[in-house]
Amino acid sequence: MILFLLLFSINIPAGNILSDNADSASVNRYEQVLDSLFDSLYNAGNNSEKERINNEIIIRFEKALAIKESFSFPFDSLKNIGKIISPDKKLRLFTWNIPFSDGTHKYYGFIQYYPPRAKDFSVYRLTDKKAGIDLPEEKILSDTNWVGALYYEIVESRHGGVTYYTLLGFDFNNLLTSKKIIDILYFSSDTIPVFGKPVFNYQDKLLDRIIFEYSSKVSMSLKYNENLKMIIYDHLSPSKPSYKDHYMFYGPDFSYDGLEFRDGTWNEVRDIDVRNPAY
């Protein structure tokens, strides 16, 4: 399993950092430097060295993403980070992580976003603060107070004139458990990123996000089914009833649940029959 897939808030109009004649060649040069830095990060021997290299990555990445041509640049050389773009092509997310020697992980990332009617995009740096967030399922958060994850899919929905980006992500968490996260991102006043909203009707609660925790020894499926217009995921349960709430013993039990977006809310649908070919 790749450990390196896959921050003070900024809202930087692209082009304000580098000169106006910065072009795709400049982005390509940044990509080459970033590729080398990520290689060094993977091979760093201790936590302090990882953090030092990562600080260089953040500085260079921020500059690269401020160049106008960067929004359409594929960054193909950066193999081990999360790179996803929304269906409406207005939102792009980059995420990566550092695994520390104690088995914990910290996450980093950037948002590129074209606000409605804007001629240029903005760049936001993501700051992982999950270590200090109690009950994250019940918190409205921001780019400066973020539950870090490696995002791999965006589901776009609209309700009440607002575009909502539902994000599917993965968190290595620690040596005992992993997590899958369903979060929601939208932009207040068209420019302020907001993570979380009480739109997840899950297990008889209305949550701001859903976090699944399970044994690090197993895998959990969480993905959007375009045909069904539903998020489909493994139902998790303990290997023995006595292990209830001890998530290091949780894993898929060969049943499936889902979430369906109706009237601005993601609603739980239990016990989906996967024998249906549409699933």
* 7 in a structural domain: no
Residue stretches of the chain with pLDDT short of 70: 1-24, 274-279
* 180 in a structural domain: yes
The neighbour count for residue 15, using CB atoms within 10 Å, is 14
Q: Using alpha carbons, select from 189, 191, 170, 210 the residue that is nearest to residue 9.
A: 191
Burial label for 68, CB within 10 Å (0-12, 13-18, 19+), is middle
Residue with tokens 């959990």: 220
- CA dist 216 and 251 (Å) reads 9
Query: What DSSP string describes 55-112?
Result: HHHHHHHHHHHTSGGGGG---TT-TTSEEEE-TTSSEEEEEEEEE-TTS-EEEEEEEE
Count CA atoms closer than 13 A to 103's CA, side-chain side: 7
Q: Using alpha carbons, select from 256, 192, 193, 186 the residue that is nearest to residue 228.
A: 256
Rounded to two decimals, what is the model's pTM? 0.90
pLDDT at 279 (0 to 100): 53
- CA dist 108 and 8 (Å) reads 12
* 47 in a structural domain: yes
pLDDT at 275 (0 to 100): 64
Structural domain total, the chain: 1
pLDDT at 158 (0 to 100): 95
* 248 in a structural domain: yes
The answer to whether residues 209 and 196 touch, using CB atoms and an 8 Å cutoff, is: yes
* 2 in a structural domain: no
- CA dist 52 and 34 (Å) reads 14
Residues 6+ apart with CB under 8 A from 225: 231, 232, 258, 278, 279
145: left (phi over 0), alpha (psi -120 to 50) or beta: beta
Domain that holds residue 216: 12-272
Q: Maximum Cα–Cα distance for the chain, whole Å?
A: 64
* 108 in a structural domain: yes
* 279 in a structural domain: no
* 63 in a structural domain: yes
Structure token pair of residue 191: 């420019």
Please write the tens of the pLDDT for every residue from 200-254. Answer: 999 999 999 999 999 999 999 999 999 889 999 999 999 999 999 999 999 999 9
